[in-house]
Homo-oligomer: A and B are copies of this chain.
Amino acid sequence: MHFNDLVTSVDKENERFIDDQLKEIDPGCKILSEEGMGTKDLSDVSGHVWIVDPIDGTLNFVKQREYFGIMLALYVDGKPTLGYIMDCVNNRLYHGGIGRGVYVNGKKISAPENLSLKEGLVSISSPLILEDVRHLQEVARHASGLRMYGSAAMEMIGMITGELVAYISYLKPWDLAAGRVLAEELGLTVKSIDGTTPDVLSSNLVLIATRQVSQDIKEIID
């Protein structure tokens, strides 16, 4: 089987499985999922909207068989509510909800320290660095170090655990939805690069960061 066929097949199988389960546990919900098997022409966020990434880090999954994850999130009337990120290789489930805390395999974790840019590692996706979008090369120079894992799930886990102090990438709805819930619950900033709240149904150039790093970066890119 060709790599591209393989990944499409696994992506689709996962999505079908997750979507079916969601319809069972939350009848009447809407589903926005990467492979498009969810609700047709979803254009409003009223009620329960589940956002599903059946495999995030597809290229890593194909080339490396690690550094990928499965993400799902519940948004209620457009508001971040529940988030789940599964690190399949390390068998770790990160889950939580707004007002409910964040957990790794059931164990509650505390908020990451409010570090500054120079004190931490940042992840910025390669197209943004290579094209030097919004002076992000300069942002990288001000950090302790630059990392690129190639999977929003992995970078989001880095943010939640405090291993990264910022993650900047152009993200589709299913890349952002789960991580946004967990990051916001832990007091991290999740904004479009221009400071607005990311749109739930659109792609956004997003900055997830500690509050201090969010300010530090704003000074460089503005």
Chain B binder among A25-33, A42-50, A74-82, A141-149: A141-149
Please tell me if A187 contacts chain B, counting CB pairs below 8 Å.
no
With A137-B130, A163-B64 in contact, is A147–B150 under 8 Å at CB? yes
| Nearest opposing residue in chain B for A122, CB measure | B126
Within 8 Å by CB of A145, from B65, B66, B126, B147, lies B126
How many copies altogether? Answer: 2
| Nearest opposing residue in chain B for A62, CB measure | B144
Assembly CA distance A106 to B149 (angstroms): 28
| Nearest opposing residue in chain B for A119, CB measure | B63
A105-131 interface bits toward B, Cβ cutoff 8 Å, 1 = contact, 0 = none: 000000000000000110000100110
Q: What is the size, in residues, of chain A's interface with B at 8 Å between Cβ atoms?
A: 24
B-contacting residues, A134-165, CB 8 Å? 137, 140-141, 144-150, 158, 161, 163
With A64-B121, A120-B63, A121-B59 in contact, is A126–B146 under 8 Å at CB? yes
Name the B residues within 8 Å of A141 (CB-CB): 130
With A126-B140, A130-B137, A141-B130 in contact, is A63–B146 under 8 Å at CB? no
Assembly CA distance A147 to B161 (angstroms): 20
A150–B145 contact, CB under 8 A? yes
